[in-house]
Amino acid sequence: MALPIILFAFGVWLLQLQPALPPLAWAAWLATSPLLLALLQGDGGLSRVLRRIVILATALACGFAWAAWQAHVRMADALPPGWEGRDITVVGVVATLPQIYERSVRFEFDVEQLQTPDAQVPQRIALSWWGSGGRDGAAARLPEVHPGERWQFTVRLKRPHGLVNPHGFDYEAWLLERGVRATGYVRPKGGHRRLETQVQSPAYAVERARERLRDRIQSALGEAPAAGVIAALVIGDQRAIPPEQWQVVTRTGVNHLMSISGLHVTMLSGLAFALVNFAWRRSARLTLALPAVKAAALAGLLAALAYALLAGFAVPAQRTVYMLAVVAAALWMGRATAAREVLAIALLVVLLIDPWAVLAAGFWLSFGAVAIILFVTAGRLKTAHWLVTWLRVQWAVTLALLPVLLALFQQVSLISPVANALAIPLVSLVVVPLALAGAVLPFDGILQFSQWLMNGCLLALEWLGGLPDAAWEQHAPPAWTVAVALMGTVWLLLPRGFPARWIGVIAFLPLLLITPELPPQGSLRLTVLDVGQGLSVVAQTRNHALLFDTGPAFGPSADSGNRVIVPFLRASGISRLDALVLSHDDIDHTGGALSVIQAVPVAAMLSSLRDLDPLLLLGPEERRCAAGQSWAWDGVQFEMLYPDAHTHDAVKLKDNERSCVLKITTHSGSVLIPADIERHGERTLLATAAGQLRADVLIAPHQGSRTSSSEAFVIAVAPRTVIFPVGYRNAFRHPHPEVVERYRQLGSAAHFTDRHGAVMLQFGDDGIKVVRQREIRRRYWLDPPDPGAAADDPGMFW
């Protein structure tokens, strides 16, 4: 049974790699499978082999067809482009636990009715409702909204659209898995009103229970240091954990414990099983009515299901619940079930319910960890001491997950065995049961004690994480090296007695030693990252790297630095920055700077920030950007063209007009990065550096604003290609059509990060090659680049 299910899962995974959804008509051939099996009846060896091949091929095709059908259904529930950005009045129910931020409340909303004639809206949407006030340092007054309430809202929506960068998080896939097919916000003056306080539904009841537990935790713990972790352990609210604590648990390799992991669910289920079994056996009447083991199995399953539902029912929790359900069913039916069959059935159920689970890192980590545990413990001839077994399991899981963690996160904690030895028993056996009991019982002391224990654990983990070389960080390994390392892991973990198990170590060498190809001497690799409405450019020569601006901040704990730039640098093998340029004081350009400075060593910083700016105090020694500064790295010339001393001293000048303007020149072409200069800065450049403005590539000034890209400036630069770093449907409506047309009339090939994702340029001996991330990473849920920017565009390669 296990192998056909694995092939079914493989088929589901293959569908999620497709650039476009295949038509469903091809699946009709699956009806021939029973006929083929009937024709292959017989006892001959060849017949048995052929029947096996047909069964396995059918399982693979069924997985592919099932995922394709589910994808067609979900993708059909879409917001038409014509309804983006328009007022639509909807009636529906708050479907999930609202997430409270500093200035807004965000939640998912099930649409029941449309009050706007002819409007088309998906069944589930994600909404932000911004608070009022909040000026002069005062807190914003946030709207009060609760799960299960029926509301009438006037909203503005847009289709799912995320940032698309190499090795970046796929926000659109995440929304697709959750069934969210549009995002938007509640109009502040749209006449919103609450129609009903409690809509009856099991799903809404669970969300209301989660909200009550969150309120209970907040009431009992307030601003306690580990309050966010307790909320994550009880109701799966991982957003409650502060970023600095996430850094600690990630560096020590215990981040799997900060969510509702399968281990927590199993522990709670085992506790319920033991208690019911103990109590049930004390009653002869109950035991005669139902055997204690069956009653305990049912209680353990119900406890696991309740906890998993309260925690949001993530993939690790689902896997555990389904495995426990199979075990409970086997106990009730009096049948023995092999552990691998239990895991396979859980895998099948997960993918039948959620074919997009294969896109989540938790899917691979959860099922992979359990599979490797079964591999090293099941079917052994001799039962080892429990401590030996535990150490063997820890070693096996650490070794097996190393390639996966490097592929997914480019980071592995070297002290995770020690950290997990401390954290697993404390968190799973003590903190979680106490936190759950404290959340249900009306005694604050239990919750406070669990928080005190958790805080002590975090302090110990912080000390461990502060040790030198606590974590191994490296580039993103090629996919084939991950596969080879996993095969080496299996060979290393074979039972004692197999010869030459040490050969498995060799399989890890490509994973660790094959590094990303560096630009040749004199060449430049330039990446304009997709950070939304803002700018961040990475320039890499053979032995040096420069980061120009750090994009916008997205919220109190999320910014371009920690969500886009640092993952890109790490995956690309860039372990340090030789220079960081912060062009001017604008949150769209400096929003991720602090995250970058904290995560990556920076040798030097150039900026035009004002004196005493906090970034200047926290970062490396800073120098002012000044016209005339120049340096050379690996045969590539860097030159600052603007601003001059007079510009820095002009008190009334806009910050945009102080932007650093950098030109990079190679033997095959040049690029000009003018940040946010406007017409004043352009006129100054035309007067002082007209002969140096000519460039093959231009990052459009001020994201294509109408206040920049004057005709004289565009003619002076005469770019063969221009890149507009803009956000999807941004509030400024950048780039302005008049500006885009100005470049097109000049013959410039235009690229837009909102349509094309990150834009990567390679300046080499054969010219300048341009690659756009949305074209090389096509998936059926990602909006394709516009037809006018096809790969045969003359500006794509010259």
Q: Residues 420-472: pLDDT tens digits?
A: 888 888 998 899 899 999 998 988 999 999 999 999 999 999 999 888 888 88
Give the closest residue to 536 by CA, choosing from 524, 528, 546, 525. Answer: 528
| Number of other residues whose CB lies within 10 A of the CB of residue 253 | 27
Q: Given this model, what pLDDT does residue 787 score?
A: 44
Q: What is the DSSP letter of 691?
A: G
What is the spatial distance between Cα 626 and Cα 628, in angstroms, rounded to a whole number? 6
For the record, the structure tokens of 322 come out as 């389904």
Per-residue pLDDT at 796: 32
Render pLDDT for 169-208 as a digit per residue (tens, 0 to 9).
Answer: 999 999 999 999 999 999 988 789 999 999 999 999 999 9
Distance CA 299, CA 305 (A): 10
Distance from CA of residue 187 to its chain's centroid? 28
- The partner residues of 526 in beta bridges, in order of sequence, read 539, 761
Rounded Cα–Cα distance for residues 695 and 715 (Å): 11
How many angstroms separate the CA atoms of 679 and 612, rounded? 28
Burial call 716-740: b when 16+ CB within 10 Å, e when fewer: bbebbbbbbbbbbeeeeebbbeebb
Alpha carbons 362 and 261: distance in angstroms, whole number: 9
- Report the range of poorest mean pLDDT among 5-14, 200-209, 305-314, 653-662: 305-314
What does the pLDDT average to over 335-354? Answer: 85
Q: Give the mean model confidence (pLDDT) for residues 104-112.
A: 95
Q: CA–CA separation, 138 vs 178, rounded Å?
A: 35
Confidence of residue 674 (pLDDT cuts 50, 70, 90): very high
Residue 36 has pLDDT above 70, yes or no: yes
Query: Rounded mean pLDDT of 37-58?
Result: 78
What's the confidence (pLDDT) of residue 401?
Answer: 85
- 343 touches 323 (CB < 8 A): yes
SS3 state of residue 352? helix
Cα–Cα distance list, 384 to 338, 381, 388 (Å): 20, 10, 6
Average pLDDT over residues 56-70: 93
Mean pLDDT of 85-100: 95
Q: Is the pLDDT of residue 773 over 80?
A: yes
What's the confidence (pLDDT) of residue 336? 66
Using an 8 Å Cβ cutoff, are 268 and 241 in contact? no
User: In terms of Cα–Cα distance, which of 130, 109, 103, 148 is closest to 190?
Assistant: 130
Give the number of other CB atoms < 10 A from CB of residue 179. 17
CA distance 714 to 748: 10
CA-wise closest residue to 569 among 535, 597, 606, 533: 597
Where is average pLDDT lowest: 47-61, 326-340, 659-673?
326-340
Best CA proximity match to 63, nearest among 9, 124, 125: 9
Residue 137: what pLDDT?
Answer: 55
Radius of gyration of the chain (CA): 29
Average pLDDT estimate for 316-337: 82
Task: Check if the beta carbon of residue 539 is closer than 8 Å to that of residue 634.
Answer: no
Pick the more confident residue, 42 or 225. Answer: 225
**Average pLDDT over the chain, rounded to an integer:** 89
Pairing of strands 579-582, 605-607: parallel
Report the alpha-carbon distance of residue 708 to residue 292 in Å, rounded. 78
Q: Is 752's pLDDT higher than 90?
A: yes
Q: Percentage of the chain with pLDDT > 90?
A: 60
Lowest mean pLDDT among 426-430, 632-636, 757-761: 426-430
**CA–CA gap between residue 564 and residue 554 (Å, rounded):** 11
Half-sphere exposure of 11 (CA within 13 A, CB side): 24
Reported in sequence order, the residue ranges of 346-478 that DSSP labels E, i.e. its strands, are 411-413, 471-473
| Residue of 670, 678, 666 lying closest to 698 (CA atoms) | 670
**β-bridge partners, 108:** 126
Residue 630, φ and ψ in degrees, nearest 5: -155, 155
* Predicted local distance difference test score (pLDDT) of residue 45: 72
Give me the helix-helix angle, 386-409 and 361-377, nearest 10°: 150
CA distance 112 to 220: 36
The pLDDT of 71-88, averaged and rounded, is: 95
The mean-pLDDT minimum among 353-367, 389-403, 678-692 falls in 389-403
Mean pLDDT of 82-98: 95
Q: CA–CA separation, 788 vs 506, rounded Å? A: 48
Query: Between 496 and 127, whose confidence is greater?
Result: 127
